[in-house]
């Protein structure tokens, strides 16, 4: 695989330049076959493996968004519902229009950034200690107190960036409230309980959790490394920098477990018994988050060549994380490092972009057939000595440019094929229109 040439050496240089010492990555295809694995370590005391627990920081937000969509599918909430319906602690008293769940999902509530409310400080004031028997992630008093603190300070903002839904500005507090909505709507004792019962357990993510002390005591949990004000902190104090509500970035996981999670997306939710349409809706690009990148629900979307790629990264003290996947490539990618500030998001994008430039995709026989326009000439895909698009009297040679795409040799025409839950091709996108397959 050409994209892998020199990649480990490149990562080693980046670790050295950013004072990091360890990074793991795993590339795999949609069948679950590993295509490449890297385990780079510059320190003898940091020899990790695929079952080592890392914090994943804001990659947690994809789990929150997925949870919200699962509850919506069950009819327990609607993304058009006002947040105050489930979080009455938030009144919206200073907002010009209602704040809806979908605004929190896309970071378009209009709130300016705020410092983290730290779990450890709140627990100390409440006199609540972490333990293996009853971790802070399950404590109802912590959840209620944290929800009130987050809701009230958002409520108190009198000046906003824009009206809800108009502009994207990353808001950790929004996902904090979403995780509490998941808890309340599902009637689970905690957000952690929902994630464990509804996602971790069905996907057999046995090393993943939202805990703190359990990871501090785990011999195979990554050392948390952070440089602040020129000083290095190295420990396994998983509570020190934790948000008061876990939906912002509280999940800890492993390379092996995250592979199962990303495969669930590549399989369009099948491992969780979900319909592909639910995953499709979660992955709709909805708002510009940076040039060339749009935010969906809990994931970002960008294109590289003919390939659409979905991703999310995370960064906290002792954490740099990223997941990526592409249906066009049929691949998933995980990157985990235990040092804050390692540019894993940029590394992941660089790697997925290189993959998009490898054009040795086979022709998929499912493409062959006629596609109805309804207003113009139908399209016909012919396969013989070469792939040909027939439209009216035009015969255009095509080549596979991805697992679900064909492109003309002069690059002027791109066809994207749509797949249903049964694995059949049911339509094709031609320009700005979608034609149905006969």
The confidence band for 3, taking pLDDT boundaries of 50, 70 and 90, is low
Structure tokens at 104: 């929190």
| CB 373, CB 297: distance < 8 Å | no
pTM of the model: 0.96
- Position 228 scores a pLDDT of 81
Q: What are 41-55's pLDDT values in tens digits? A: 998 888 899 999 999
- Nearest CA to 424 out of 271, 269, 276 is that of 276
Half-sphere exposure of 320 (CA within 13 A, CB side): 26
Q: What are 286-304's pLDDT values in tens digits? A: 999 999 999 999 999 999 9
CATH architecture for segment(s) 2-356: 3-Layer(aba) Sandwich (3.40)
Longest dimension (CA), the chain: 78
Percent of the chain at pLDDT > 90 equals: 91
- Position 179 scores a pLDDT of 98
- pLDDT of 283 strictly over 70: yes
- Nearest CA to 106 out of 281, 256, 303 is that of 281
d(CA 16, CA 44) in angstroms, rounded, equals: 15
| CB 303, CB 66: distance < 8 Å | no
Domain ranges of the chain: 2-356, 365-437
Percent of the chain at pLDDT > 70 equals: 99
- Position 286 scores a pLDDT of 98
Give first-to-last CA distance, the chain, whole Å: 37
- Nearest CA to 25 out of 345, 357, 300, 402 is that of 345
Interval 377-383 mean pLDDT: 93
The confidence band for 2, taking pLDDT boundaries of 50, 70 and 90, is low
C-beta neighbour count of 204 within 10 angstroms:
12
HEC profile of the chain: CHHHCCHHHHHHHHHHHCCCCEEEEEEEECCCCEEEEEEEECCCCCCCCCCCEEECHHHHHHHHHHHHHHHHHCCCCCCCCEHHHCCCCCCCCCCCCCCEHHHHHCCCCCCCCCCCCEHHHHHHHHCCCCCCCCCHHHCHHHHHHHHHHHHHHHHCCCCCCCCCCCCCCCCHHHHHHHHHHHHHHHCCCCHHHHHHHHHHCCCCCCCCECCCHHHHCCCCECCEEEEECCEEEEECCCCCCCECCHHHCCCEECHHHHHHHHHHHHCCCHHHCCCHHHHHHHCCCCEEEECCEEECCCCEEEEECCEEEEEEEEEECCEEEEEEEECCCCEEEEEEECECCCCHHHHHHHHHHHHHCCCCCCCCHHHCEEEECCCCCCEEEEECCCEEEEECCEEEEEEEEECCEEECCCCCCEEEEEECCCCCEEEEEECCEEEEEC
Interval 19-38 mean pLDDT: 96
Q: What are 315-340's pLDDT values in tens digits? A: 999 999 999 999 999 999 999 999 99
- pLDDT of 84 strictly over 70: yes
Structure tokens at 345: 């998001």
Interval 216-238 mean pLDDT: 91
Interval 261-287 mean pLDDT: 97
């Amino acid at each position: 695989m050409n994209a892998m040439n020199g990649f480990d050496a490149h990562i080693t240089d980046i670790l050295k330049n950013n004072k990091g010492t360890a990074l793991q990555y795993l590339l795999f295809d949609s069948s679950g076959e590993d295509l490449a694995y890297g385990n780079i370590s510059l320190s003898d005391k940091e020899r990790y493996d695929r079952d080592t627990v890392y914090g994943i920081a804001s990659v947690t937000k994809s789990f929150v968004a997925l949870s919200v969509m699962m509850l919506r599918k069950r009819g327990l909430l609607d993304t058009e519902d006002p947040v105050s319906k489930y979080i009455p602690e938030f009144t919206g008293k200073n907002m010009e229009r209602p704040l809806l769940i979908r605004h929190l999902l896309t970071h378009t509530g209009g709130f300016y950034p705020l410092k983290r409310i730290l779990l450890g400080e709140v627990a100390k004031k409440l006199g609540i200690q972490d333990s293996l028997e009853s971790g802070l992630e399950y404590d109802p008093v912590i959840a209620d107190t944290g929800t009130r603190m987050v809701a009230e300070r958002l409520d108190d903002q009198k000046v906003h960036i824009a009206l809800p839904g108009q502009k994207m500005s990353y808001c950790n507090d929004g996902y904090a409230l979403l995780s509490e909505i998941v808890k309340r709507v599902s009637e689970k004792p905690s957000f952690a309980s929902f994630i464990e019962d509804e996602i971790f357990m069905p996907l057999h993510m046995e090393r993943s959790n939202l805990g703190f002390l359990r990871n501090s005591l785990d011999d195979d949990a990554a050392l948390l490394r952070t440089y602040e004000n020129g000083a290095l902190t190295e420990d396994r104090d998983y509570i020190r920098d934790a948000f008061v509500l876990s939906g912002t970035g509280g999940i800890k996981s492993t390379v092996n477990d995250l592979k199962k999670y990303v495969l669930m997306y590549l399989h369009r939710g099948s491992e969780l018994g979900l319909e592909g349409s639910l995953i499709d809706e979660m992955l709709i690009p909805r708002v510009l988050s940076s040039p060339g990148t749009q935010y969906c629900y809990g994931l970002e979307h960008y294109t590289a060549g003919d390939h659409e790629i979905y991703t999310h990264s995370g960064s906290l003290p002792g954490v740099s994380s990223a997941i990526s996947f592409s249906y066009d490539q049929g691949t998933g990618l995980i990157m985990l490092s235990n040092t804050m500030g390692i540019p894993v998001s940029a590394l992941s994008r660089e790697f997925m972009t290189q993959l998009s430039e490898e054009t040795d995709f086979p022709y998929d026989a499912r493409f062959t057939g006629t596609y109805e326009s309804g207003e113009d000439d139908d399209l016909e895909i012919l396969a013989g000595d070469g792939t040909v698009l027939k439209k009216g009297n035009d015969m255009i040679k095509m080549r596979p440019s991805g697992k679900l795409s064909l492109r003309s040799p002069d690059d002027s025409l791109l066809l994207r094929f749509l797949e249903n839950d049964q694995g059949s091709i049911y339509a094709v996108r031609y320009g700005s229109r979608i034609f149905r397959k006969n």
